[in-house]
Amino acid sequence: MKIKNIVIAGSACFLTLFSCSDINENVYDKYQPDSFYGTPEGANLALASVYAEIPGDFERKSVPGVGYAGADNGWYDMNCMSSDEQVIPHRNDGNWQQDFARLHKHVWLPTESIINNTWRWLYNGVFKANLAVELLEKSNADPSKIAEAKVVRAFFYYLLIDDFGDVPFYTDNNTTVDKIPQTSRKVVYDFIVKELTENVELLSVTKGGNYYGRFNKWAGYTLLAKVYLNAKVYTGEAKWNECLAACNKVSEGGYTLHSGDENATSPLGNKYYELFGDVLPDDETILPIYATLDVVSRNIYTNRSLYGPHGKALFGFDTWNGTIVPKDFFLKYALNDIRRKQFLVGEQKGGFNYTLDVASLDDPGADPQAGVRNIKFYPAGATSGGGASNDFPIYRYADVILMMAECNVRLGNPGAAKPFVDQIRMRAGLTALDANPTLDNIYDERGFELNWEGHRRQDMIRFDKFLLPNEFRPESPAYRKLFPIPTSALDANPGLKQNPGY
């Protein structure tokens, strides 16, 4: 059972920072404002406001698409639907809008609500982080707390430059939207690296417990590794050695791969799928999103994928009949790969039949049972079709292992990369590679291991695969590697310049 956490209703913050078993009223109004945030309670409250922005929050109807993952119509959908791993087709029975198909076909527009939602969410996170840094610094809070706020701010800016390139940049909230300068991707990248390298060592080394869902030292180094991994995309200058060094720091945290052994109590038959369940195992999970059904966030991804009557037969409630896995992505999995168990295709118990082929994404759309379905996040604690209590892995050690493999290959040392790739493969029930890995081997393995976890678009761009044609679209123009600045943002700040091509 998950530990209950505190909901601060007045600030709309879910306090993932600490749990309690004794609820006593704490009187804070005796503190001076400049000293309150220097107390443990005040520092936790300041950080809670920032962390509350990370989970997907399906209930905030006034701000749809809030969160990194869990809900829909936000960052996760924008980055995952534009890749080759998933898409929601418009159905020929009239269900589902067509913006997901536009993302997958690389014909999205600057007016897309999903793009606007993502932009608003990220800048809401930046604003909250700026405020937390200011409050904590003025109160002379514990340096580790100030460092934590700065690292979370760096996380939001990293996501911004990854999606949008040159972005409005500010660290002081005492300015108006129309005055925030658009700053080059390289300058913001340098800021992110500086913030991380100056602050990661100050973070806690605690794993799990009160730090479940927070940036500890190891999550901070994983973020730094991800930034370095994509440095050539962001700045034109590769940082493979730096990425490898950051990954090696993560390895000092004592992480290992979670077991892939058979497990009869798992709905998918292997302990591997515990990595996507209710509370994620901390042997491999580095940074999760905490989700508790009907309390904070939720995980909709299996519910959104299955055909409604099929979900009713399995779980007792109608599911959404949305997301599918494109045929070419699914067919690359080996038949004996335990990770293939997450996919449903062909005849299912109860008389349902998911076809491999999908004739159309948008006009006239797909048949109701067309497309491979994904149950990686097999619903935990779900009592209705609204979502599930599965937590979401932002970072896990398998990703770090594959980053180390990639860096070694790119640095001309594929022999050093092979044991890393083989670890991942053998956990999945496969044999070791017959030869040293190529970049294509690593690209494929990242897809097999990390699908539906938010990494694929970024990987496709870094491996020069993102623009390639697929069964639903021709080759894409190069400008599609960036999303457009939303029209609403351009209207609010006349100083912004739209990305080329839009």
What are the pLDDT digits (tens) for 423-440? 999 999 999 999 999 999
Mean pLDDT score, 250-279: 96
DSSP 3-state helix, strand, coil percentages of the chain (rounded to 5)?
45, 10, 45
Q: Is the pLDDT of residue 5 over 80?
A: no
Banded pLDDT at 207 (limits 50, 70, 90): very high
Helices assigned H by DSSP within 316-413: 327-331, 397-410
Please report the pLDDT score of residue 12 as a whole number: 35
* Least-confidence region, from 37-46, 97-106, 355-364, 409-418: 37-46
Is residue 344 included in any domain, yes or no?
yes
Closest by Cα among 221, 273, 225 to 252: 221
Please report the pLDDT score of residue 23 as a whole number: 32
Banded pLDDT at 63 (limits 50, 70, 90): low
| % pLDDT > 70, the chain | 91
Report in angstroms the alpha-carbon separations of 225 from 160, 221, 277, 345, 354. 17, 6, 26, 36, 39
Please report the pLDDT score of residue 187 as a whole number: 98
Question: Whole-angstrom Cα distance, residue 175 to residue 150?
Answer: 19
Question: Whole-angstrom Cα distance, residue 95 to residue 372?
Answer: 17
Is residue 305 included in any domain, yes or no?
yes
Is residue 477 included in any domain, yes or no?
no
Tell the residue number behind the tokens 């959908």, with chain if given. Answer: 77
Report in angstroms the alpha-carbon separations of 336 from 200, 269, 425, 429, 431. 40, 13, 11, 7, 10
Is residue 219 included in any domain, yes or no?
no
Please report the pLDDT score of residue 61 as a whole number: 53
Banded pLDDT at 147 (limits 50, 70, 90): very high
Q: Rounded mean pLDDT of the chain? A: 92
- Using only C-alpha atoms, the chain has a radius of gyration, in whole angstroms, of 22
Is residue 242 included in any domain, yes or no?
no
Tokens coding 343: 């996919």
Banded pLDDT at 35 (limits 50, 70, 90): confident
Q: Which amino acid is at 204?
A: S
> Which residues constitute the domain of residue 341?
300-388
Tokens coding 34: 């400049």
Question: Whole-angstrom Cα distance, residue 125 to residue 469?
Answer: 35
Is residue 352 included in any domain, yes or no?
yes
Domain count, the chain: 1
Is residue 196 included in any domain, yes or no?
no
Question: Whole-angstrom Cα distance, residue 89 to residue 375?
Answer: 17
Is residue 464 included in any domain, yes or no?
no
Q: Provide the CA 152 distance to its chain's centre, in angstroms.
A: 14
Question: Whole-angstrom Cα distance, residue 129 to residue 386?
Answer: 30
Tell me the pTM: 0.93
